[in-house]
Amino acid sequence: MSSLLPNGRSIVLIGLMGCGKSTVGRELSRATSFPFLDTDMLIEEQVGMEIPQIFAELGEPRFRALETALLNYLRDNPSSRSSGIIATGGGMILRPENRLILRSLGFVVWLDVDLPNLLSRTARAQNRPLLHIEDRESRLRELMDIRSPLYEQTAHLRINSSNLKASQVVDLILQHAHTFFASPPSNEAT
């Protein structure tokens, strides 16, 4: 399985908060022995603050700039420490330049989960400042409306994972990743 990813290439997970990027990413990492990277965690380590504190003290625009800087770093330093299985923050696809960089990193998979599942999966999370509001359903619906076309245009593969177990999602991703890396789109090879 360790021959899955060509040198410096990654499997990149995108999707809304609560879609399972971290769970699936960790399981993919275990299944393939490639390192697991989480862009939120890398930013937290770099800044020395947790995401809610970054939003409160530095503001969302600064957080978005940190996301872009991190993606640039990952693209420019394709080593065994900066590639593997990458879970991204839900808003990573908002900037056009991020969408291009994400595709250049490797195989991009959108975990598409329906609203009821997102609502229940984010019910107890305290670490998501965008959901620190009374009406989480309206907020998630709004984010879904705005972002779905952006996830769509960024992803090489969309998986409707609402009713799938993490292990089933992992199996699907691995099947498609083998095909992708055997013949990646020629205009995206790094």
Q: List residues near ligand S3P by CB under 6 A.
A: 17, 21, 40, 51, 89-91, 128-130
- Which is nearer to ligand S3P, 50 or 171 (by Cβ)? 50
User: Tokens 């609203």 identify what position?
Assistant: 115
Shortest separation between residue 124's beta carbon and ligand S3P, angstroms: 13
DSSP H helices, the chain, are 21-32, 39-47, 51-53, 60-76, 96-105, 115-121, 136-154, 166-182
48: left (phi over 0), alpha (psi -120 to 50) or beta: left
Give the C-alpha distances (Å, rounded to integers) separating 122 from 5, 19, 86, 95, 119.
31, 9, 20, 24, 5
Tokens linked to 18: 């609560």
Give the C-alpha distances (Å, rounded to integers) separating 59 from 22, 96, 114, 185.
24, 20, 29, 37
- Which is nearer to ligand S3P, 44 or 188 (by Cβ)? 44
Shortest separation between residue 187's beta carbon and ligand S3P, angstroms: 28
- Which is nearer to ligand S3P, 4 or 98 (by Cβ)? 98
Shortest separation between residue 129's beta carbon and ligand S3P, angstroms: 6
Shortest separation between residue 26's beta carbon and ligand S3P, angstroms: 13
Shortest separation between residue 123's beta carbon and ligand S3P, angstroms: 13
- Which is nearer to ligand S3P, 4 or 110 (by Cβ)? 110
36 three-class SS:
strand
- Which is nearer to ligand S3P, 17 or 177 (by Cβ)? 17
Shortest separation between residue 15's beta carbon and ligand S3P, angstroms: 7
- Which is nearer to ligand S3P, 84 or 91 (by Cβ)? 91
Taking CB atoms, the residue at the shortest distance from ligand S3P is: 89
Dist. CA 171–CA 15, nearest whole Å = 18
Whether 118 contacts 125, CB under 8 Å: no
Dist. CA 161–CA 72, nearest whole Å = 29
